[in-house]
Structure 1
Amino acid sequence: MDKAEANRQFARCMREHGVDVPDPGPDGNLQFDAGAAGDRNKAVAAASACQRYLPNGGELQNLSPEQLEQARAFAKCMREHGIDMPDPDPNTGLSAILKGGIDFNSPEFQAATQACKGVVQR
């Protein structure tokens, strides 16, 4: 299964679990806005139920040094804007953001995300 199809299945699964996630764009990438997902607990539960559709079961692996540095820079930027976001795990690239107490719907999170979105290059 190619990336675009896997991402379409992931988005469909998320919607089936009550989280409004649009289908991937023309490039096959998901355009997921954590703040628009609604109830954080519902989004975390849905992501857990649907992660089987993502490459490597949703585990990020083999990040390039540049990708890991971007993830660190994003986390640092978010902290500078008042969000207590941990640095990513150097082995997987994942952070504890979904397991933490971050309120994705808060105005502070939304403002920090907007301020920091330029840190990550696509």
Structure 2
Amino acid sequence: MKTRARMGFGAASLVLVLALTGCGGGGGADGGEVASVGKGREGGNSSAAPGASSEMAEYVEAKRKWVVCLRENGLDAPDPDAKGNVDFGDARKAKQDPKFSEAQEKCRDLVVMVPDSLERAMQPELSAEEIDRKKRYATCMQENGAPDFPDTDDKGFSEEVAWDSTSAGAKRAQRACGEIVGIPDDGSKAKG
């Protein structure tokens, strides 16, 4: 499991940030265009940003509806940005506010997860070296006991397939291949 989590590099971080944002955490504003939502209104402008995909527009619109609900339930929630991020500032402070918890609970049916295709589109582009390293790691894992380990495509994304990371072969492969992605043989995280 450790290897899979580390292999995700920035993807895992992005998922965590977006999940916390969707659940009331402190996603940061990225300086993108801000969607406008008036208090007490459902929605607003339906396009997320010029040239945005319809999937992105739908996602941002869903986040707007969630923000409207939060506002209708007493929380002074900020507008989502062009990527659907909602910046609540200090997440710990916000979560301690009873208004925040109450509004979150009342609006939980409107919380949407980032669609997989948007998550991929929002990830930073990997360098040729990073893509090569991920491909070598996948091949090494497959050749050393984890034949079901997902392949890596030409952009550095892993196929979305289930693989058994707990099998003896997978653990053996993780020990043999970990250094390719910066995980020492003992399982502790490498420096750098």
TM-score, scaled relative to structure 2: 0.32
Flag the structure with more relative contact order, 1 or 2, with Cα contacts below 8 A and sequence separation at least 6. Answer: 1
Q: Which has the higher helix share?
A: 1
Larger Rg: 2
- TM-score, normalised relative to structure 1: 0.47
